[in-house]
Amino acid sequence: MKLFFFFALLVFFLYFSSSTARGPLHSSLPSGFRNGSRISFSDSVRRQLFQDKQSKLSDDRAKGYMTNSDLEKAVKEFGRRCSNISRIYSIGKSVHGFPLWVIEISDKPGEKEPEPAFKFVGNVHGDEPVGRELLLRLANWICDNYIKDSLARLIVENIHLHILPSMNPDGYFLRRRGNANNIDLNRDFPDQFFPVNNDINARQPETRAVMNWLREMQFAASASLHGGALVANYPWDGTEDKRRNYYACPDDDTFRFMASIYSHSHHNMSLSKEFPGGITNGALWYPIYGGMQDWNYIHAGCFELTLEISDNKWPNANEIPTLWEYNKMSLLNLAASLVKVHCSVAIDFPPMYSYASFFSCFL
């Protein structure tokens, strides 16, 4: 059975590779890029527990990025402009009361269908804003192209795509990693290795909003967008003995496949010299606890990746168009992968196995 599964994945990977695009590798890269290697953000800085002592970003660095008000206006304008294939809703509010807006894209938004649902989450860390910018570009690109572009049309007609551009608008406003209460939201989820952390009432408002969102929606897969490295990260993020080593989850092959879709569709992520193929097991990179990725998988049956999409956590705004071009096909192909492997019998499987079942259904 295992041999068949590996063979099935291989066949599907070859099929997928032949039907997706990858951006060209240019010889000239913007600042913050190093052809598949990271700049000098240490591991202890990128994914550490939130600390009080953090330098605030300059006003100049923030120029060119959407403010929270700009983001709200952009989301609502998208809803008006693309009302035939979208709906706008909020899953809750931040500590300071800013709505956590979500864009749903589908030919039947808001309706329950036997189609898979995928979500993108940006700006989990307040000082990593590239994701919120790219996710708005993704939504607008799909809206502008779904009639004439086959990939955009494939997504609109066959999945329900949900986009949360900013999970941490307060942290973004404060230009720091944590939320308004100084809490790192990607360490705030209940964790399998720390059961004392399982009280939902002790969670931050943003964390509770996402947890309730997943309980209401049956997402097959998901990805959160981060900055500070260039790699597609998959579970497990922590280890039972707290040591740094490869700690595989039960669906390790499926997660590696998902991560490879993103990496190989990217401009240069798969060429990394630090991470073979541009992907990594989270615990092998360095263990974290209370992360959103593992909680998605354990408690909601949602296969989530953590995508580090820019070596620079907060690059100059003039680099956003380039970062969009580098990540566009990765974002589209990852969402579209649900369509390419989806079949109607998948709805008969328990949530935790729904994504894996897509592979056997397709083949």
The answer to the question of residue 87 being in a domain is: yes
- Shortest CA distance to 355 belongs to which of 238, 234, 264? 234
The answer to the question of residue 26 being in a domain is: no
- Give me the pLDDT at residue 340, please: 66
- Give me the pLDDT at residue 195, please: 80
Q: Containing domain of residue 339, as a range?
A: 33-39+70-362
- Indicate if 113 belongs to the active site: no
The answer to the question of residue 49 being in a domain is: no
SS3 257: helix
CATH assignment of the domain containing 242: 3.40.630.10
- Give me the pLDDT at residue 339, please: 85
297 — phi, psi (to 5°)?
-70, -45
Is residue 161 classed exposed, middle or buried when 0-12, 13-18 and 19+ CB atoms within 10 A define those classes? Answer: buried
pLDDT tens, N- to C-terminus, the chain (363 residues): 333 333 344 444 434 443 333 233 332 222 222 233 332 223 333 343 333 334 455 667 778 999 999 999 999 999 999 999 999 999 999 999 999 999 999 999 999 999 999 999 999 999 999 999 999 999 999 999 999 999 999 999 999 999 999 999 999 999 999 999 999 999 999 999 988 778 888 999 999 999 999 999 999 999 999 999 999 999 999 999 999 999 999 999 999 999 999 999 999 999 999 999 999 999 999 999 999 999 999 999 999 999 999 999 999 999 999 999 999 999 999 999 998 654 433 333 333 333 333 333 333
Domain count, the chain: 1
- Give me the pLDDT at residue 201, please: 87
The answer to the question of residue 6 being in a domain is: no
Give the DSSP per-residue string, 55-103: PPPPHHHHTTSPPHHHHHHHHHHHHHHTGGGEEEEEEEE-TT--EEEEE
Say which of 115, 206, 308, 319 is annotated catalytic: 308
The single residue listed with the structure tokens 């092959």 is 253
The answer to the question of residue 24 being in a domain is: no
The answer to the question of residue 2 being in a domain is: no
- Shortest CA distance to 293 belongs to which of 225, 240, 197? 225
- Give me the pLDDT at residue 24, please: 31
- Give me the pLDDT at residue 274, please: 95
- Give me the pLDDT at residue 360, please: 33
The answer to the question of residue 18 being in a domain is: no
The answer to the question of residue 45 being in a domain is: no
91 — phi, psi (to 5°)?
-95, 0
**Interacting residues of 342 by C-beta distance below 8 A, sequence separation 6+:** 115, 116, 158, 159, 358, 361, 362
Helical ranges in the chain per DSSP H: 2-19, 43-46, 59-62, 68-81, 130-145, 150-158, 169-174, 205-216, 252-265, 282-285, 292-300, 320-341, 354-362
- Give me the pLDDT at residue 31, please: 28
